[in-house]
Amino acid sequence: MPAAQHKAIDAIQRAHQIAFAPFIFQTVISLRKLEILDLIFEHESEGGITLKSLSEKSEVDLYGLGVLLELAETMEIVLKNEEGKFQLSKIGYFLNFNESIIANLNFANDVCYKGLYHLPESVSKGTPEGLKELGNYQSIYQGLSTLPHNARNSWFRFDHFYSDEIFDEALEKVYRNCPKDLFDVGANTGRFALKVLQKYPETNLSLIDLPGQLDAAKKNLEQHGLFDKVNFIEIDWLGENPKLTKNADAIWMSQFLDCFSETEIISILKVCSNHLNSEGQLFIVETLTDRQRFPSAKMALEATSLYFTALANGNSKMYSSEVLKNLVEKSGLEVVEDLSLGDFHTMFVCQLKK
């Protein structure tokens, strides 16, 4: 059933908020960067802090601070009491201190904000026209290791936030069949690899990614004295005829397939399934749009799809379970288990079709 229509009066309010959404967003970014939200929170026990004191303590001009806080108050990010003292609302508190909100805010601002201006051309052309705002790259993954400092930090913070928390739980599932040879496809900086080797040091582990990411993984593993325990395999899955040269008992792909279009996913899965031992398992871990408990999580994934459209590659997205399962089936594999991990993730355990 289509969603119920709003009353006109509510609809026009929402429409106005959307029209001015960039102003509200940049107000929050400014209040965080100028450390005003921190300062307000520090004065919580005194019942808040006035605009004048805020300006003196922060050395931010009264005029500028005033316009930021005016909109922030209307948007219920800060509250002002009868004495004219500002306090953080719960929304303001989360915007300043919640780890997932901070990862999302910084990713939206440092990686996506300028590039999203090019969304209409990106959609028309099917290419990430916004990427030029970050550098001259074919796809964002070719450029990850050389992105501007803030963009790079915010990209990794976002990526790690949405992957790391389920690695321990996932590892237990991967090791139920005691795999000896494991491929980590889309290994990135080697954070999953570290977990594997710390817990299962006998594993013959291969990290597979683009050269820039493998260099970062090499450094990371070197720092932990684990460099010699790993094989590094450079592959560009979008290059001509990408090949693997050996087989694995388990193939791990975390937040990897969302970097590719449906057609590309089928060809990657076909190559991988040709290198899976007959009783081997391929593990796909994704945050799927139709498997989210909270509406905000679904919205965040749908927004992340636009990052792929305008910045990452121009043709991929966060998928639904139905679409992804269908692609697995078309690749000569079947999903033998469909598990949920943590609050947001789904794991498909796949095997070769018998």
Residues forming the site for ligand SAM (CB under 6 A): 141, 159, 163, 186, 188, 209-210, 213, 235-238, 254-256, 259
Closest alpha carbon to 21 in 109, 134, 101, 102: 109
H helices within 202-320, ranges in order? 211-223, 262-273, 295-307
Both tokens assigned to 51:
């605009």
According to DSSP, the residues that pair with 49 across neighbouring strands are: 86
Helix axis angle, 191-199 relative to 167-174, nearest 10°? 50
CB of 188 to ligand SAM, least distance (A): 3
d(CA 354, CA 132): 46
| Cα Dmax for the chain | 73
CB of 44 to ligand SAM, least distance (A): 36
CB of 178 to ligand SAM, least distance (A): 22
d(CA 28, CA 68): 8
- Residues contacting residue 93 through CB under 8 Å, at least 6 positions apart: 41
Cβ closest to ligand SAM, residue 65 vs residue 184: 184
CB of 86 to ligand SAM, least distance (A): 38
CB of 167 to ligand SAM, least distance (A): 8
Cβ closest to ligand SAM, residue 65 vs residue 258: 258
Cβ closest to ligand SAM, residue 163 vs residue 315: 163
Cβ closest to ligand SAM, residue 6 vs residue 224: 224
Cβ closest to ligand SAM, residue 102 vs residue 238: 238
49 contacts 39 by C-beta, under 8 angstroms = yes
Cβ closest to ligand SAM, residue 37 vs residue 144: 144
CB of 166 to ligand SAM, least distance (A): 9
